[in-house]
Amino acid sequence: MNLDLDGRRVLVTGGSKGIGLACARAFLSEGAHVAIASRSEANLAAARGELGSVITVAADLADADAARAMVERVEADLGAIDILVTSAGAARRTPADELTPGAWRAAMDAKYFTYINVIDPVVKRMAARGGGAIVNIIGNGGKVASPIHLPGGAANAALMLATVGLANAYAAKGVRILGVNPGLTKTTRVAEGMRAEAAQGGISEAEALKRSIDRIPIGRLAEPEEIAAMVVFAASPRASYLTGTIITMDGASFPVVV
């Protein structure tokens, strides 16, 4: 299927590794022009080596001014952003009895505001131009509470509400906004989660991973490229009536109607 993405200008935050990197690669394969953002210059350099022709910008997206400056730089170098994919930021996993108010606030800075600080300037620019698409890669922790991921799950839940609320607010201005909730995916973030699960349960990381996979009806973790395929389709003109929704990709782990 031709997704009609040739020449589209795409910004992927968190695009230097994991699902974000897979998204950047997928958009490039469709002929899009791509910029990626990350905090780490080293990760960006590695991504450039793999992807080739991409614009890279290092920025701490938890800082609203830095996020806005990053958006301005991307539009100066790439042109007006047609598609934004947010994938930057992850909250630290912490057992419930070790939580403090500071841990909850840090999770919002790490996951919620790294998204909102970029979405805010981009969605307003898209609305002024009369079109655009935003796909937020969020996570099922916002729907299913985990005892070691409560602050991060709360940030995810807030992002889901912001996603559908902004979609409603900007639909009439031609901007589509939706979310994708990956389940367990083969990324370094999930590997970190397995370490936390293992420590909490007093088991090995290998056993923690096995137990997690055993709970997935499809019988395996997702590949980043599988998540990216959905993101690219959802952002494309082929999905022109898709907005204001959250798409769950968890291998049927939580069979609920939403």
Convert the pLDDT of each residue in 198-238 to its tens digit.
777 788 888 888 888 888 999 999 999 999 999 999 999 99
* CA distance linking residue 29 with residue 162, whole number of Å: 30
Say if CB 93 and CB 74 are below 8 A apart: no
pTM of the predicted model as reported, rounded to 2 decimal places:
0.92
R_g over Cα of the chain: 18
Instruction: Lowest mean pLDDT of 45-49, 78-82, 88-92, 160-164, name the range.
Output: 88-92
User: What percent of the chain lies above the pLDDT cut of 90?
Assistant: 74
Helix ranges (H only) for 5-144 are 18-29, 41-51, 64-78, 101-107, 113-129
pLDDT digits (tens, 9 = 90+) for 154-170: 999 999 999 999 999 99
> Where do we find the tokens 């389709």?
233
Distance CA 221, CA 132 (A): 31
State which CATH number among 2.40.30.10, 3.30.70.1170, 3.40.50.720, 3.30.1490.20 fits the domain covering 9-183+223-249. Answer: 3.40.50.720
Q: How confident is the model at residue 89 (pLDDT cuts 50, 70, 90)?
A: confident
